Amino acid sequence: MEYNSPLSLEKEKKLISLLKMTPDSQVIEVGCGNGKFLLSLMEAYEVSVLGVDTDSMLINQARGAADTRFENRTYRFICEDFQSLNLRSQSYDLLICNGSSHAFGAGAHAVSSVAQHANRLLKQGGLLLLGECYWKKAPPQAYLDFLGQDKGIYSDYKGNIDLVHAQGFNPIYATSSSQHEWDNFEWSHKQITRECLKGDPTNSQLKKKMLRIETWLDAYLKWGREHLGYGFYLFEKNTLCQK
Query: What domains, with CATH codes, occur in the chain?
Result: 9-137+147-177+227-237 (3.40.50.150)
Question: Residue 148: pLDDT above 50?
Answer: yes
Model pLDDT for residues 182-234, shown as the tens digit of each residue: 999 999 999 999 999 999 999 999 999 999 999 999 999 999 999 999 999 99
- Span 162-175, mean pLDDT? 96
What pLDDT, on the 0 to 100 scale, is given for residue 242?
A: 46
What pLDDT, on the 0 to 100 scale, is given for residue 4?
A: 84
Question: Residue 238: pLDDT above 90?
Answer: no
**Residues paired with 173 in a beta bridge:** 234
Best CA proximity match to 1, nearest among 34, 49, 41: 34
Question: Residue 121: pLDDT above 90?
Answer: yes
What pLDDT, on the 0 to 100 scale, is given for residue 71?
A: 82
Model pLDDT for residues 4-44, shown as the tens digit of each residue: 899 999 999 999 999 999 999 999 999 999 999 999 999 99
What pLDDT, on the 0 to 100 scale, is given for residue 212?
A: 96
What pLDDT, on the 0 to 100 scale, is given for residue 106?
A: 83
> Residue 240 — pLDDT band, cuts 50, 70, 90?
low
8 Å CB contact between 118 and 101: no
Cα(53)–Cα(59) distance, rounded to whole angstroms? 7
